[in-house]
Structure 1
């Protein structure tokens, strides 16, 4: 292969950077030549364990240099390695194993008939251990390396971090394309979630980062957007579909930080790459795969019965198309058996000339960058006496089993053999697996069942963070792979959870509520983290604002002091928390359930308190009880305005549930997570500026008059990067002044917005955290009850404040106890559904606890 033979021509340029130093192209070429001599000159099948190490890289290049076909295998799955050795009987084994074989010559001459064009064998399905391999030629590898180098404009000064495994076609393409251009590799097996990875990345002046969708999940967790990476030139993404909103977000992040985002599309059968999306198109075409790589071409093959005539199966042709598949050693003698690659993806070409993937013909699924064959997983489980049906879901593999199987055992089996993390394997226990009349798996019904709630897995063992989560959230289904949001946490339980976690772990990451519990503990115990002072603590800004606002509200009503604006600030915080908790569901129905649950947690305690007060005096009317005072405005309800804030939040949640319940609107919000609430803010400002032509202060519900504060708080939660945060801040500065005609009140709200937008936490003390946590967690209940306390204690304002807070906290504790009691009385919701015509009626298995 030319680029391997030409390594020495790059001279003393740096070829490899590791934590131990740099290796020049001259040195690398010498190491490759020495190892090639070890492998001999007669062509033999050489198995190389593809770790991200200098030895593995040299072994791969040496085998290529000597003309040996290479079987490149994962370095972390003993079962997969053993299966491939048994299936293909390599002549030479190269790898660092405990057994001690670095280079093991199993025979002097090959027992295989090896076609002269055969250069490389790669698995088609990630790490499932399938014996089906892709046969690639030297021409395939060279052509793809040159095409990638051309469209990425790889320079000899570039340095690419090996953020993906060498044995994975995407990771290997990074290696080949950069070596072909005389660029350097920052060779590491560290994860992007590891702080040491970024230390090496900066020290090595790395210019290139590659990632699959799961990599971008990790980048979000480590706050990649805030990192100072002065040498970064571009980020590439492949290995599965990246959500359009995330494509836009990273494209915009790159634009502001000075690097490009290349979204790419490929398969192992095309030696890694078939298409790329030019960076200047990423923001406007986030769902597209782009245009063919140089030398490649697409066409559409008709798909029978597809409703859209513009859609067909995507077919690729180019010099990087594989020779064909190998199913056994006999196939190693074959030459080219395919000229085009039928990708199995359904696609169309848009009016702008870019290509889009719209679906998949077969059951194969890409999950976290691995191409998984569900049928292979079913066969794997069958070998362990587990009957199962599998389908690929949204970022997860769904495994339906009979109800008497232990979900934990199934999850461990699949995760261990396939190479997926346990959190990406969802086990679905059923009393009967859905099948068609023909006896084949009924995948449609299975997918419908998977869309419903999953049965709770066994409770986590005591003595860890899971126990704390179970206590605060009153759940029995807490496992380390689930997050606060996954477990149904909301803005009320968030306060208690964040304060107690901060006390347990120290400083929390800003996105702790979306992190799996296991990752949360790891993230707070990162290598090199300095020990925290014993007394210095931090407090979530939203929690601090809620605590401060409720004290300001009660104190101003007494009046102990006059510092108004707290309720309107709480409205902004409510919008901020709406985005963080109610809009985190992966599915539209899940989001609507979360909004509904929040409405119940607000409405029921409010109506219960108002009803109780109505039994003992005539302070409130029926319109107040129905939370309709701001609409009906009866003349005989002078105190109905007490609950304007609650009414505003309820009306806003109901309206947003109706709006987001529309499929198209839900898609808009997901595609434009920041622009969507900003657009709603523009609409809501019609009420703030009295465009309706009525007395907004007295004739319109507060949700219409002040609703823009809620949606602007929502936008603050979605703001990503300096430009978006600055835009939210400027919007608050431009719209709040003049609303009340009270500069101090308006300044308080603007200051609160600034804190909410720019600071995830504020400095605090342990004792302040406890007090703020209680106040913030009880803020709704204090707001409801203080009207019945302070009027009787106006002569003692400090006592009035303390008594108002105390009663609200007590009422909050009572409500929490009632919720827990109701949860224990609620019958378990049955799972499963009657089959459609021609399908079995399914009776779901009972949940295991």
Structure 2
């Protein structure tokens, strides 16, 4: 495709944007919805550029990780308009719109991407070199912007592409926001080389991110320090990423120990770690650490990027003469700052960049950052201006002084200030998670002889307080938000518990993992404790992680089930063990202290979350294959047959659970039975177990004439798990253990299988938690949360991969986890619609009440 004539002949477009079409049919953008070639991308960019109008105008673009946002950004550059790239949502959009009065606003309006012309011409006279405006202050909406030229963008894109050796076959994931200079540099450098972008707004903590990354044959992704914390949580080290070539780290100081660990991980797995250093004022990057030096020099930022140079400016008040302020020069240094619309007319006001960082040069020629001359801080990758936060708090009547580190902002409050209120004000304003804001109440601030706050002394006070005090309590409001998110509920208040809010075994795993991350530990009975009673523990060194036994058993059992069906190995008994775990969780989550109607409502909700996804999947399979019959779809195969079907027995476990829940709902719906269960919570399930054993031993000889439903044959394992949850004290636990040891052997005539079930039930009875590691907790949490869906879907996966058993196992687990994610999003969507419908009704109801 031949590029169109210059849209604005007086203005030079950024070369890599102008030349998009020269890369032809190579893939430019890969999304979950498909692939966009360079020719197609160029056509969309040129079409949008024409819509932006004649004459140079200030164009504000919402910088979301979407094709629409990418096209709008490139179109502005293609047409020579100065582009103000802002976060896709939040207070910054409104603040910067008010401060700079853009001529055109491009972004979502009621869910639809829209170009809004605020005037025909322009209210501005931007300098001919001005191409892009970026904020340096995260989501605060500060009017201070960085002015970048087309030459800045092209030079930095070429420089980064050179030292990373970006190839036209590379595919980089957009793991960082488009409006963030680091995330934008990934886009620019890859488009400059004709490489592809894997465009996604998913976090690296999301399964969907890695599914797309693998499917698109991803070769790289970028991360700030917090990204690497998330990678640890999701078990990145164990991931199979065959096309990964390199990982980049910037946006803040990555701890040297992490640099070494990830560099060594990359060596083992065949990819490189590039530690980088940059600022928005340098368009993105100023230095990089060659991967082969990362292990030996993990504290270094490395050497200047191609085309750039460093010098150390003397610092008069620093005791070490080898330390100076790091000053950078190169073609990527900004034109200067803008503080108001009038500054858009300015040309170059800056020739070199004083970074504000104190650094030294090592004997090997590498640069190391040793401190900061200014008070700016990068916290979890977000650049924060402490002075601006102090001004914000002063407007709310709070006298405070702020100091920042790599992972938290310390807010020293003088006088009587509510720490929770201060924490929430700061977190909401700058976009940090509340856990990254620590409020330090002080009677008075430490000060220097000049009267200025002594920031070094303040940091020392904060460190001393952190070392001696227990971990800060997580505010109940924050925990309520977490509960509301996981349970899709708007009725969360601090006096309610997980069980009170209708939590079930499917949401329990996610809730326990998320809470453990926030609090650092979980009480054994956290699910019945009011939210207000959940607190972080006192700080303890060397504290070991633990994993709840029921979660561990669900994770292990589902792997054993799938692996034995392939067969990768033959360790059977997992499904019957899961039946016991199901009874254990039934007692914990459905049989609460609520009244009978609420109990029945909770059982019904649990049934719905099992039956609907199951029948949806079976129905979908029936549309394309003839593996199943109507009785399978209706979960009645064990009752209605057919017998001896090769595939009809696939869902016996789900049928058993559903039939048991229906029968128990009918039974407990009787007032007398409900009262009996409440009066004898342990004896009642033991009695049901005795009755259920009639089917297990076929006392009446029914099985001689026809097969009994699986709920009758194996239902005693469910009630035994129920009794295990109600066992209180050593005697009752011994009784349940003895019942398991006496009834399981002989059921299959397979000693190994029976031993697995007895051992699993014993763990469930005696150990609330088992020792674990953080990474194991994360993996087990994902597997346990998806266990139902893995069981449901794996039948359609492994038969096609029997010759590759490990691949069959991984694919089966991945599909089930993916289906679990889809189902959870569907539930969230339904819950959202219900909330909106209720919110829409409430004003009318209030009006009717007032006028009635």
2:332 aligns with 320
Deviation string 1:747-805 (CA, Å, 9 cap, x unpaired) is xxxxxxxxxxxxxx99952432443569999xxxxxxxxxxxxxxxxxxxxxxxxxxxx
Q: Provide the C-alpha distance between the structure 2 equivalents of 1:776 and 1:317, rounded to a whole number of angstroms.
A: 53
Deviation string 1:511-546 (CA, Å, 9 cap, x unpaired) is xxxxxxxxxxxxxxxxxxx99934369xxxxxxxxx
Q: Provide the C-alpha distance between the structure 2 equivalents of 1:317 and 1:15, rounded to a whole number of angstroms.
A: 32
The 5 A counterparts of 1:157-196 are: 157-196=169-208
| C-alpha deviation, 1:248, in angstroms | 0.7
1:149 counterpart SS class:
helix
Deviation string 1:33-63 (CA, Å, 9 cap, x unpaired) is 1100110121000000100000000000000
Q: Provide the C-alpha distance between the structure 1 equivalents of 2:104 and 2:83, rounded to a whole number of angstroms.
A: 10
Q: Provide the C-alpha distance between the structure 1 equivalents of 2:30 and 2:521, rounded to a whole number of angstroms.
A: 43
1:452 counterpart SS class:
helix
Deviation string 1:624-645 (CA, Å, 9 cap, x unpaired) is xxxxxxxxxxxxxxxxxxxxxx
Work out whether 1:68 is the aligned partner of 2:113.
no
Work out whether 1:488 is the aligned partner of 2:488.
no
| 8 A contact 1:536–1:763 mirrored in 2 | no
Specify which of 743, 766, 779 is matched with residue 771 of structure 1. Answer: 766
| C-alpha deviation, 1:389, in angstroms | 1.1
Work out whether 1:38 is the aligned partner of 2:51.
yes
Deviation string 1:436-495 (CA, Å, 9 cap, x unpaired) is 565533323321221123564477445256799575699x999999877x743866xx5x
The 5 A counterparts of 1:242-391 are: 242-391=254-403
| 8 A contact 1:95–1:103 mirrored in 2 | yes
Q: Provide the C-alpha distance between the structure 1 equivalents of 2:77 and 2:576, rounded to a whole number of angstroms.
A: 49
Q: Which moved more, 1:100-109 or 1:203-212?
A: 100-109
| 8 A contact 2:170–2:218 mirrored in 1 | yes
2:233 aligns with 221
1:498 aligns with 546
Q: Provide the C-alpha distance between the structure 1 equivalents of 2:259 and 2:533, rounded to a whole number of angstroms.
A: 29
- Backbone CA RMSD of aligned residues: 3.2
Pair 47,764 (structure 1): closer, same or farther in 2 beyond 3 Å: farther
2:211 counterpart SS class:
helix
Work out whether 1:533 is the aligned partner of 2:585.
no
Q: Provide the C-alpha distance between the structure 1 equivalents of 2:80 and 2:328, rounded to a whole number of angstroms.
A: 28
Q: Provide the C-alpha distance between the structure 2 equivalents of 1:207 and 1:775, rounded to a whole number of angstroms.
A: 37
| C-alpha deviation, 1:394, in angstroms | 3.8
1:535 counterpart SS class:
helix
Q: Provide the C-alpha distance between the structure 2 equivalents of 1:531 and 1:452, rounded to a whole number of angstroms.
A: 53
Q: Provide the C-alpha distance between the structure 2 equivalents of 1:426 and 1:84, rounded to a whole number of angstroms.
A: 28
Pair 459,171 (structure 1): closer, same or farther in 2 beyond 3 Å: closer
Specify which of 7, 26, 38 is matched with residue 39 of structure 2. Answer: 26
Q: Provide the C-alpha distance between the structure 2 equivalents of 1:58 and 1:305, rounded to a whole number of angstroms.
A: 49
For structure 1, list consecutive stretches of 5 or more residues without a partner in the other structure: 510-529, 538-760, 778-849
| C-alpha deviation, 1:75, in angstroms | 1.3
Q: Provide the C-alpha distance between the structure 2 equivalents of 1:378 and 1:353, rounded to a whole number of angstroms.
A: 39
Work out whether 1:8 is the aligned partner of 2:60.
no
Work out whether 1:136 is the aligned partner of 2:148.
yes
1:671 aligns with none
Pair 352,481 (structure 1): closer, same or farther in 2 beyond 3 Å: farther
Pair 22,775 (structure 1): closer, same or farther in 2 beyond 3 Å: closer
| 8 A contact 1:346–1:359 mirrored in 2 | yes
| 8 A contact 1:457–1:477 mirrored in 2 | no
TM-score normalised to the size of structure 2? 0.58
| C-alpha deviation, 1:104, in angstroms | 0.8
1:687 aligns with none
2:590 aligns with none
Deviation string 1:111-139 (CA, Å, 9 cap, x unpaired) is 11200000001111222221111100000
| C-alpha deviation, 1:434, in angstroms | 3.9
| 8 A contact 2:62–2:89 mirrored in 1 | no
Q: Provide the C-alpha distance between the structure 1 equivalents of 2:425 and 2:282, rounded to a whole number of angstroms.
A: 31
| 8 A contact 2:401–2:413 mirrored in 1 | yes
| C-alpha deviation, 1:356, in angstroms | 1.0
Deviation string 1:326-355 (CA, Å, 9 cap, x unpaired) is 111111111001111111111111111111
| 8 A contact 2:549–2:767 mirrored in 1 | no
| C-alpha deviation, 1:108, in angstroms | 1.1
1:620 aligns with none
Q: Provide the C-alpha distance between the structure 1 equivalents of 2:252 and 2:259, rounded to a whole number of angstroms.
A: 12
Deviation string 1:598-643 (CA, Å, 9 cap, x unpaired) is xxxxxxxxxxxxxxxxxxxxxxxxxxxxxxxxxxxxxxxxxxxxxx
2:459 aligns with 447
| C-alpha deviation, 1:379, in angstroms | 1.4
The 5 A counterparts of 1:18-167 are: 18-77=31-90, 79-98=91-110, 102-167=114-179
**Which structure is richer in relative contact order (CA contacts within 8 A, separation 6 or more)?**
1
Q: Provide the C-alpha distance between the structure 2 equivalents of 1:775 and 1:202, rounded to a whole number of angstroms.
A: 33
The 5 A counterparts of 1:518-557 are: 533-535=578-580
| 8 A contact 1:93–1:101 mirrored in 2 | no
Pair 328,532 (structure 1): closer, same or farther in 2 beyond 3 Å: farther
| 8 A contact 2:549–2:768 mirrored in 1 | no
TM-score normalised to the size of structure 1? 0.58
| C-alpha deviation, 1:311, in angstroms | 1.1
1:266 counterpart SS class:
strand
2:119 counterpart SS class:
coil
2:253 aligns with 241
Q: Provide the C-alpha distance between the structure 1 equivalents of 2:769 and 2:55, rounded to a whole number of angstroms.
A: 76
2:781 aligns with none
For structure 2, list consecutive stretches of 5 or more residues without a partner in the other structure: 1-13, 477-493, 499-511, 557-574, 583-755, 773-852
| 8 A contact 1:207–1:234 mirrored in 2 | yes
| C-alpha deviation, 1:431, in angstroms | 3.3
Pair 394,31 (structure 1): closer, same or farther in 2 beyond 3 Å: closer
Pair 438,480 (structure 1): closer, same or farther in 2 beyond 3 Å: farther
Q: Provide the C-alpha distance between the structure 1 equivalents of 2:135 and 2:408, rounded to a whole number of angstroms.
A: 20
| 8 A contact 1:407–1:427 mirrored in 2 | yes
